[in-house]
Structure 1
Amino acid sequence: MDSHNGLRFHLLGPVRAEHHGHPLPVGSPVQRAVLAVLLLGGRPTTTRELAAALWGDTLPEGAGRTLRTCISRLRATLGEDVLRSENGAWSLRTSPEALDATVFDAHRAAAAAAREAGDLATARERLGAALALWEGGTALAGLPGPYAEQERARLDDLHAAAREDLLDCAIAAGEHAETVADLRALVADHPLRERPRALLMLALDRSGRQAEALAVFDAAPEPGPGLTRLRDRILAGDGTLSAPAPGTPAGAAPDGLPPDIRDFTGREELLARIKDASARGPVALTGPAGVGKTTLAVHAAHALRHAHPDGLLHLDLRGTDPAPVDAATALAQLLHALGVDQQAVPESEEHRTALYRSLLHGRRALVLLDDARDAEQLRPLLPDSPGCTVLITSSTPLDEGIPVPPLTGAEALHMLETIAGRPCPDAAAVLESCAGLPLTVRIAAGLVPLPAGGADVLHAAYDALDPEQARAFRLLALADAPSFDTATAAAVLDTDARAAAALTNSLAEAGLLQPVAPDRHRHHDLLKSFARLQSEHTDSPPVRDAALLRLLDHHLATAANALLHHRPDSPVPRHVRRPSVAGQPLHDKAAAAGWLRDAHPHLLATVDQVLRLDVPGGIRAATDLLTTWGQLLAGTGLHADLEPPARQALDRARKDGDDISAARALRLLGAPRLGPDTYGRAEAELRDSVRLAEPDPLTLALASHEHGAVLLAMGRPEEALPLLTRAEEAFRAEGSPTHAAEALADRAGALSALGRTDEAVEAVGRATEEARALGHVPTLVHALTESGRTLLRAGRTATATDRLREALTLPLPPREEALLWARLAHCRLDQHLNRDAVTDAERALTLEAGTGATYCRALALWARGRALLALGEPRPAQGHLREAHELLERRGAAEAGALRALLDEEFGAP
């Protein structure tokens, strides 16, 4: 790896530098962190930006002086011609090959190109060279600061992807059995990544070890649709699994593009402009509805797909709908498409954007953002990787957009005759009514022979439908949801799946519905408006309202089916309304998880629409769906997506005087483990929920438990204890032992805080044993976590450590794992294992960086600060402790008082 002026920099492990092979002194962890920011930033960096990268928003005393010292020492080591000041910013002048991270990216890109060309040997060689650059498996090892944490997570993700690619090549070369051990290690290192699990299943299947392959699937925390399809193919004995096409990756990159139009015609000049412009930045296609923007963008995306081996993503932003997709929801869908487990999706839009961009950083992916409302909606969805191509469609003019004009007369005639498959000499009058819109031309082609007199094409196509088709066309357009499957269509139409499939397929053949995926259709925006207008003229308001309620009931029934796979003893399905439809059958937990992931945006759109239109009877149905859905999302960042509809439901319930619906909405808004910004807000909402829920045993039990947990977190155990006791008794009466065990574990925490140590230890021990006997992983994790906290407070640190370490052996979402490492760090401190405490706290912070779990961040910073104090490093310790105190105080957590006392004792009152 020769480089300009003999310098080489290593970030894929401990940060170090060399000059012609001789090590250079790069100083303290802070100084090495400054060097890493300058190397990875790729542009001049100001002192202010360096400070934010190292310490975030809370700067330690003397931060400026520390940075000046670091810069001065680095300049002395590297030379002033290498580390230069430019207009108040600092930059490093090095050649690309001087940095191991850049060389790693180059090897991966070359391997992808070789793999695409079918050259497995070269691909394996380049991937081997890429992985050989890593030292110890962890990038930026030992560096402090939020920037290092974020970049460490990104680089480690790329490292895992390269390991996957290399093993994928080995499988493609026929080395199935040889890869099994390495794949098992990779799965153990990254239990939430689906691709290594899929590769391991494939290697085992090709080695004749089908039972082991299926066991790998069963051990997945939450299998996605791709893993589920692979499981089904193995069960079916699919012979095609044994012989992949040359160069085809076994664990394919995401391909979410809608199908291409087989009979696409014309637009050659526009396609050339799109291809040329896509090399320079995002490409926006603008124009009125029906002019063919989406079809053109999809066709262009398919033409460009071979240049984007790292993924093809498509997202309908519904910019012309009354309720467009918000950025947070859009990011969740993109993260799902990129393989992020539902439990790993961060809570905030900011953290979702950071994770999305980090996953695409350095990759060659294509992102199609369809029907954007405006630049503000788009901004968080744009990758920052130069290798990514972004295609956008919008009915709103956007800066530097490419206008898509209507078809000329000749183009329209050519399209009509191509689709119809024969000359149409009588087409002039009809094409004039099509106004050059490809959508209406395509519909006209399905009407050949054409209607006489140039009749309006949409009316002619609608009039050609039989009564059942016409009814389906109208009612299926009523929902704001972006698309629908056969089961959903059957619910809306109040028919069975076979009849619904026949109707949707016949409408698609007539050009009145668009297929967007297997068993999924949508109305074009122009056709949706037309269909809704026909419904207003034909269907009475009760008929339209009933269709929307059947849709809501379908989602509610399916959510209840999913919840019973997730928590079989849940009392929720017994206390929500009995839906008028059966819902989609879900055969196992994996199918339930897949449905939830795919249905999330459709449920958001449906609840919003029913509440916004004030559909009679809709408020109770909507809050029942939100309640059931909220249980499925408990403990995940996606629960934050329920806040807007829950707030909307609360307003509607208060206007209607519906106390039960109001109580359920308030509980959703205040549930403590689901991310309210402050405990004070949560406590007020849950107090009101408990007050209103007296006639509703379900909400009374759930809200009492959650209200008690919040009061305990605020340091008010005497108020929490009776609520937690009532919740436990209510859950036992309901026949829900998992909920009861969790309430008992929390009750132990209240007893511990009140000084009733023996009772607390006995209660948490009983909760843990109940959880083990039940075999429900989330309940066992909760019981073990609370056991660790209670035993630590009782001075039984060794046993507390054992409980937390046991929890860490279970399948965990990232935010739960991060919190456990933070609590384990506090146990290490109690054992005077300060170096171990620093390591555990840093593990927590690395995981937390991708989730935005501020309470976990505070606990980890507190532990790291205490450990550094004990190790004789008071300056960085003070910064960590101050940030931790600020986060805890802002949240209203009881621990803020103890931390304030520690700060005052060590550093004096502020």
Structure 2
Amino acid sequence: MSVEFRVLGPLEVLLDSEPVSVPAGRGRVLLATLLLRPNQFVSVDELVERLWDGEPPTVDRAHKTLQTTVLRLRQALGAANRVRTTPGGYLCEVRPDELDLLRFRALVKAGDFASAAELWRGPALANVVSDALHRDDVPRLEAERLDALERRIDADLERGGASDIVAELIELTREHPLRERFWAQRMTALYRSGRQAEAFESYREITTLLADELGVDPSPELRELHLALLNGEVGGSQRKALCQLPPDTAGFVGRAELLCKVEEKLAAPGVPVVVLSGAPGVGKSAFTIKAAHRLRDRFPDGQLFARLNGASGDPRDPVEVLAELLVALDVHASAVPDGLEARSAAFRAQLADRRMLVVLDDAAGSDQVRPLLPGTEGCAVLISSRQQLVQVDGAQSLRVPPLGEDDGIALLSSVLGAERAGTDKAAVAAIVRACGGLPLALRVAGARLAARESLPLSSLARRLSDERHRLDELTMGDLEIRATFGPSYEALPADAATAFRRLGLLGATDVASWTVGVLAGGDGERLVERLVEANLLDEVGLDVTGEPRYRLHDLLAVYAAELVRAEDEQVVAEAMRAYVHLLLTVVEVAAEAWTGGDELPLVPIAPSTALDRAEIERLADNGEGLLVSEMVNIERAIMYCLRKNWVSDAANLVDRAFLFLDVYYSHDRVLQLRELLREAAFADGKDLIAWRSHLDHVAQRITRGVTEELLAELARCAEAFEAMDAQAELAAALGSLTYYTMVLTGQPQVALAERAVVAGRASGVRNLRTSTLRELGTMLATEKRYAEATRVLDEALAISREANAPWNEIALLLSRIASSALAQGDLDRARSASREALDLTTKLDDTRGIAYCTTQAAQVDLALGDPGHALTGAEKALSAFEGLGERRGAVRAVAVVAEATLALGLYGKVIDVATAALENYADTGDADAEERLRVALAEARRRA
């Protein structure tokens, strides 16, 4: 049996798709009132007011008439009846799929505005006669409809469908002549459809209309659009606005004056920065989110949001936050630079010429905030923090004060319900005074009362009047919080209670519903719904993949952690094993795009069966987004595994996740995690894992420059792998040792390369066989044994092409072939190989690979007698390397810059460039690049 209720149009009820007759008059008013507050208590007094639309007769008669109306409505609905009696009132109990209003709001939240708009069948509740409903409720519904319609039209314009919606927009501006957003969309659609004259005429029409009707000018946004049209700056598509704000704060009361101050300060010229500070529990975050939503129209290019966890004792590294924000701004993973300064500069560049609001919640201090600030006018920053952050240049601080008594009573009443709060107004006022107007304390008190409906308000007021125990009653920082959270937790069904406890294993971090499901061994979506309904889990919006995220409040997380510690250790360990296994499986699928190249083969894992394979692939479809969304949880899972001595699980997770995520963490954090894994593996007797981790540790360090110390560590790795007869690992270590020894010393290492080839063949791993052949070919070419080098490199390329190897592997081989050909003067082969390598890395959108291949192509151009083209390419590559913090690549690019500049006869510039480079890049350990710089410098000095 299916039931459907409809309020987005004439009131309708369907039972198994057949209409159910709803009694006209008060019966429809009653049902409509309850449906507009689905699953919420509506008091008898409010219903009486609605049913009479004015002053009812005697109270006794009104209540009896209401009871009769409810009875008749239930009888008419029959099997479709969802009206339930509660103490002092009624509610209509409906599932999200049974009421079109709930489906509409869910679609809007998911961003499917077209489907949401299609649910409307006409004016809301058109067949319900009630002045109160059409005065108080229907306008709000209509506002929601128009907002969804505007967003749907924005999406149509974004997709290039301007000409298809012109007629609709003309009709909408007739129906809503003073709604300026429709006029802006109409002007945009007309302009993009080639109807410029009509677009300008539309602006004149709304200008006249506003002047005649309201005596005002068009809004700044409409005037700016008009100017953009005049300047031809509105093209066929626009950059999509981004909103990362959490849902608007529910149950917010008061603070109107403070909201006005925030708006005023954020309207200042330049890049205004407003810091909202105040005591713990005063509601800084709630107020910040409320203010940000009110300001959305001022920042049409979007609103960025980041939690900085300043109050947690473990504030987020701004390097990680910047990576997250850059991905949200559609920066490709390979283009995210390494290092704080580079990422901060990239972030500022992304915000240039945009009007965006950056919201930073719970900042720890000035050093954490400074790298996250925009640099150009048009943007603004709103920060919440326990500190005033006076060290942030230009920041204006506003203190968020406690609520006054009237606002405090309103907040507590909104938690309790107006009817219950009205039973003892003196007690409510006493509780507000005892709480000092702190919203968190009021919500704690309200939650305790709401969880125990039989508890008299005067009882809590009396306990709070005793100053000796007031903090015990209201504290949120120790185990006394059990008295507040206990009733809510105990009221949960067993499976939802398990889910709540198990979330304590992860702490206060954002999670998806599948995480909740695997930890509790149940349906994650349903469990999340129960916890959200019980106010024990917060919705925090969508991640970059579009997946909803949820979070335990910090104090609830502490409470849940205490509860889970009381569970059977073995049972909890099995739940965490299942979670780690599923996380590992999802990460493996998400990271598939980055496998290949010189990586060691991953240790195979048995895929998790906690979710269907199709669901796992859906979650991992946006590989970058999934990995970035889960990066905090991945790191926590790795640390949990290490604490529990689950070394193999930790290693498998590190090996897969860090194929991609190593560029998102700070360099030092990557090294630290590798070190922790290495030491745990040694302690557990897992030597192969330990040495593999050490090899990866060295590989990370060597990106900053080659040293004798690092070469010695590579040699130690090779010795260890040889002793264990680990041929794959031996091949990788020897290949790296071969290449980097030549880089540092400038001397070819043929013997080492031949040992690597033997190990590569013995390993049976194709990519290690080709990579070791590549290094051997490179060494032979350096020794000027070109015929042998050509044979070896061609063999490696043939193996890779036949196996349809990843493009990055083939590109690296082609690059080495180009280098060998260039050294022996075969310029046609060098040009062909270098161009194909550059094409492949460009298709991959691999910023680092593109820079290396561009450097090599510039060398070939120089050899072909085109120094101007070579200089342009080398300078482009140098800029990319500097942005990435890739010093080894930078010194190679600057060597080509010096050589091309020398060929152009600009001797003074060569002297400046080469002198500076030899000093700045002395620690990179690239002997060949340094020698080329010295030769160029000497020649320039001689000629000058």
| TM-score category of the 2 structures, normalised to the smaller one | 0.5 to 0.7
Match of 2:273 in 1: 282
* Separation (CA, whole Å) in 2 of partners of 1:539 and 1:327: 36
Conservation of the 8 A alpha-carbon contact between 1:514 and 1:521: yes
Match of 2:86 in 1: none
Gaps of 5+ in 2: 1-153, 166-191, 193-233, 391-395, 461-472, 474-482, 543-547
User: Looking at CA atoms only, which structure, 1 or 2, has the larger radius of gyration?
Assistant: 2
* Separation (CA, whole Å) in 2 of partners of 1:571 and 1:804: 23
Deviation at 1:867, TM superposition (A): 1.6
Bigger relative CO (Cα 8 Å, ≥ 6 apart) = 1
> Which string of whole-angstrom CA distances, capped at 9 and with x for unpartnered residues, describes residues 368-396 of structure 1?
11222211111211122232121222234
Deviation at 1:595, TM superposition (A): 1.6
Work out which of the residue numbers 515, 520, 527 in structure 1 matches 2:556.
Answer: 527
* Separation (CA, whole Å) in 2 of partners of 1:516 and 1:527: 15
Conservation of the 8 A alpha-carbon contact between 1:323 and 1:605: no
Deviation at 1:857, TM superposition (A): 2.0
TM-aligned CA distance change 1:671 to 1:655, over 3 Å = same
Deviation at 1:775, TM superposition (A): 5.2
Residues 137-216 of structure 1 aligned to structure 2 (within 5 Å): 171-174=160-163
**Quick one: percent identity of the two aligned structures?**
27
Q: Is the aligned partner of 1:645 residue 2:649?
A: no
Work out which of the residue numbers 710, 720, 725 in structure 1 matches 2:757.
Answer: 725
Deviation at 1:848, TM superposition (A): 3.1
Conservation of the 8 A alpha-carbon contact between 1:283 and 1:392: yes
> Which string of whole-angstrom CA distances, capped at 9 and with x for unpartnered residues, describes residues 172-226 of structure 1?
53399xxxxxxxxxxxxxxxxxxxxxxxxxx9xxxxxxxxxxxxxxxxxxxxxxx
Conservation of the 8 A alpha-carbon contact between 1:717 and 1:750: yes
Work out which of the residue numbers 485, 489, 495 in structure 2 matches 1:468.
Answer: 495
* Separation (CA, whole Å) in 1 of partners of 2:891 and 2:164: 47
Work out which of the residue numbers 359, 382, 385 in structure 1 matches 2:373.
Answer: 382
Q: Is the aligned partner of 1:752 residue 2:781?
A: yes
Work out which of the residue numbers 234, 249, 274 in structure 2 matches 1:261.
Answer: 249
TM-aligned CA distance change 1:576 to 1:370, over 3 Å = farther
Work out which of the residue numbers 428, 441, 444 in structure 2 matches 1:440.
Answer: 444
Using the size of structure 2 for normalisation, the TM-score is 0.64
* Separation (CA, whole Å) in 1 of partners of 2:246 and 2:453: 30
Conservation of the 8 A alpha-carbon contact between 1:433 and 1:457: no
Partner of 2:616: helix, strand, or coil?
coil
Partner of 1:484: helix, strand, or coil?
coil
Match of 1:502 in 2: 526
Q: Is the aligned partner of 1:844 residue 2:871?
A: no
Match of 1:403 in 2: 399
Q: Is the aligned partner of 1:784 residue 2:780?
A: no
Moved more, 741-750 or 819-828: 741-750
Residues 381-780 of structure 1 aligned to structure 2 (within 5 Å): 381-399=372-390, 401-425=397-421, 428=428, 436-438=438-440, 439-440=443-444, 443-444=447-448, 447=451, 449=453, 451-452=455-456, 453-454=459-460, 456-480=483-507, 482-493=509-520, 495-496=521-522, 498=523, 500-518=524-542, 519-536=548-565, 538-539=566-567, 547-567=575-595, 575=603, 585-587=616-618, 590-607=621-638, 609-610=639-640, 615-632=643-660, 642-654=670-682, 658-671=686-699, 675-680=703-708, 682-693=710-721, 695=724, 699-714=729-744, 715-718=746-749, 720-722=752-754, 724-726=756-758, 728-730=760-762, 733-734=764-765, 737-773=766-802, 774=804, 776-780=806-810
Match of 1:127 in 2: none
Conservation of the 8 A alpha-carbon contact between 1:672 and 1:709: no
Deviation at 1:651, TM superposition (A): 4.4
Work out which of the residue numbers 839, 856, 863 in structure 2 matches 1:823.
Answer: 856
> Which string of whole-angstrom CA distances, capped at 9 and with x for unpartnered residues, describes residues 92-126 of structure 1?
xxxxxxxxxxxxxxxxxxxxxxxxxxxxxxxxxxx
Conservation of the 8 A alpha-carbon contact between 2:357 and 2:381: yes
Match of 1:137 in 2: none
TM-aligned CA distance change 1:285 to 1:641, over 3 Å = same
* Separation (CA, whole Å) in 1 of partners of 2:236 and 2:540: 24
Match of 2:114 in 1: none
Match of 1:357 in 2: 348
Partner of 1:171: helix, strand, or coil?
coil
Conservation of the 8 A alpha-carbon contact between 2:509 and 2:551: yes
TM-aligned CA distance change 1:377 to 1:169, over 3 Å = closer
Q: Is the aligned partner of 1:907 residue 2:941?
A: yes
Match of 1:96 in 2: none
> Which string of whole-angstrom CA distances, capped at 9 and with x for unpartnered residues, describes residues 732-783 of structure 1?
x13xx34543443233212222332212112222333333341522122222
Work out which of the residue numbers 246, 260, 270 in structure 1 matches 2:258.
Answer: 270
Letter in 2 for 1:717: P
Conservation of the 8 A alpha-carbon contact between 1:286 and 1:397: yes
Using the size of structure 1 for normalisation, the TM-score is 0.66
* Separation (CA, whole Å) in 2 of partners of 1:753 and 1:569: 23
Letter in 1 for 2:266: S
Conservation of the 8 A alpha-carbon contact between 2:590 and 2:621: no
TM-aligned CA distance change 1:775 to 1:665, over 3 Å = closer
Deviation at 1:638, TM superposition (A): 7.7
* Separation (CA, whole Å) in 1 of partners of 2:914 and 2:676: 39
Conservation of the 8 A alpha-carbon contact between 2:242 and 2:301: yes
Moved more, 348-357 or 897-906: 897-906
Partner of 2:358: helix, strand, or coil?
strand
* Separation (CA, whole Å) in 1 of partners of 2:703 and 2:446: 49
Partner of 1:285: helix, strand, or coil?
strand
Gaps of 5+ in 1: 1-164, 177-202, 204-245
Aligned-CA RMSD value: 3.7
Partner of 2:319: helix, strand, or coil?
helix
TM-aligned CA distance change 1:639 to 1:787, over 3 Å = farther
Moved more, 515-524 or 261-270: 261-270
* Separation (CA, whole Å) in 2 of partners of 1:713 and 1:871: 28
Partner of 1:516: helix, strand, or coil?
strand
Residues 43-122 of structure 1 aligned to structure 2 (within 5 Å): none
User: How many residue pairs were aligned?
Assistant: 667
> Which string of whole-angstrom CA distances, capped at 9 and with x for unpartnered residues, describes residues 160-179 of structure 1?
xxxxx9x9779353399xxx
Deviation at 1:329, TM superposition (A): 0.8
Letter in 1 for 2:917: A
Conservation of the 8 A alpha-carbon contact between 1:571 and 1:698: no
* Separation (CA, whole Å) in 2 of partners of 1:339 and 1:300: 26
Conservation of the 8 A alpha-carbon contact between 2:578 and 2:610: no
> Which string of whole-angstrom CA distances, capped at 9 and with x for unpartnered residues, describes residues 630-652 of structure 1?
23458899877623322333344
